[in-house]
Amino acid sequence: NKVHEATGSGTGVLGDQKSLNTYYANSTYYLYNVTKPMSGVIATYDNNNGGQYSLPGYYVTDSGNTFYSERQKAAVDAHYYAGEVFDYYYNNFNRESYDGNGADIVSSVHFGSNYNNAAWVGNQMIYGDGDGSTFTYLSGADDIVAHELTHAVTDTTAELVYENQSGALNESFSDVFGYFVDNEDWLMGEDVYTPGVPGDALRSMSNPTQYDQPAHMDDYQDLPNTEQGDWGGVHINSGIPNKAAYYTINSIGQSKAEEIYYRALTVYLTPNSTFSDARQALIQSAQDLYGSTTANSVASAWNNIGVY
Ligand X SMILES: Cc1cccc(C(=O)O)c1OC(=O)C1CC1
**Partner residues linked to 127 by β-bridges:** 118
Would you say 11 or 154 has its CB closer to Zn ion?
Answer: 154
Measured distance CA(262)–CA(250) in Å, rounded: 17
Q: Is 184 known to be catalytic?
A: no
Q: Would you list the DSSP string of 104-164?
A: -EEEEEEETTT---EEE-SSSEEEE---SSSBS-GGG-HHHHHHHHHHHHHHTTT---SSH
How far is Cα of residue 206 from the mean position of the Cα atoms in its chain?
18
Q: Please report how close the Cβ of residue 156 comes to ligand X at its closest, in angstroms.
A: 16
Mapped onto helix, strand or coil, the DSSP state of residue 269 is coil
Residue 51 CB neighbour total at 10 angstroms: 10
Residue 189 binds: one of Zn ion, ligand X, none (C-beta under 5 to 8 A by kind):
ligand X
- Annotated active-site residue in 79, 147, 151, 235: 235
Strands 125-128 and 105-111: parallel
Q: Please report how close the Cβ of residue 228 comes to ligand X at its closest, in angstroms.
A: 14
Would you say 67 or 179 has its CB closer to ligand X?
Answer: 179
Residue 279 binds: one of Zn ion, ligand X, none (C-beta under 5 to 8 A by kind):
none
**146 burial type by CB count under 10 A (0-12 exposed, 13-18 middle, 19+ buried):** buried
CA-only gyration radius of the chain, Å: 19
Find the binding residues for ligand X in span 131-190 (CB under 6 A).
Answer: 144, 147-148, 171, 178, 188-189
- For the stretch 244-258, what's the b/e string if a residue is b when 16 or more beta carbons lie within 10 angstroms of its beta carbon? bbbbbbebbeeebbb
Q: What would you measure as the largest C-alpha separation in the chain, in angstroms?
A: 61
For residues 234 and 170, the answer to whether their CB atoms sit within 8 Å is yes
Phi-psi region of 32 (alpha: psi -120 to 50; beta: other; left: phi over 0): beta
Q: Is 147 known to be catalytic?
A: no
- Annotated active-site residue in 148, 163, 171, 259: 148
Q: Please report how close the Cβ of residue 178 comes to ligand X at its closest, in angstroms.
A: 6
Q: Which stretch binds ligand X (CB under 6 A): 40-48, 116-124, 221-229, 257-265?
A: 116-124
Would you say 138 or 281 has its CB closer to ligand X?
Answer: 138
For residues 78 and 145, the answer to whether their CB atoms sit within 8 Å is yes
Q: Does 208 bind ligand X (CB under 6 A)?
A: no
Would you say 174 or 237 has its CB closer to Zn ion?
Answer: 174
Would you say 143 or 277 has its CB closer to Zn ion?
Answer: 143
- Count of residues engaged in binding ligand X, rule: CB under 6 A: 11
Would you say 96 or 171 has its CB closer to ligand X?
Answer: 171
Answer for which of 17, 114, 117, 292 binds ligand X (CB under 6 A) is 117
Answer for which of 118, 149, 249, 257 binds ligand X (CB under 6 A) is 118
One-letter identity of residue 227: E
Q: Please report how close the Cβ of residue 19 comes to ligand X at its closest, in angstroms.
A: 25
Answer for which of 14, 103, 119, 217 binds ligand X (CB under 6 A) is 119
Convert residues 161-180 into a mask of x (bound to Zn ion by CB under 5 A) and - (unbound). Answer: -------------x------
For the annotated catalytic residues, the residue numbers are 148, 235
Query: Which residues contact ligand X by CB under 6 A?
Result: 117-119, 144, 147-148, 171, 178, 188-189, 202
**Binding residues for Zn ion, per CB under 5 A?**
174
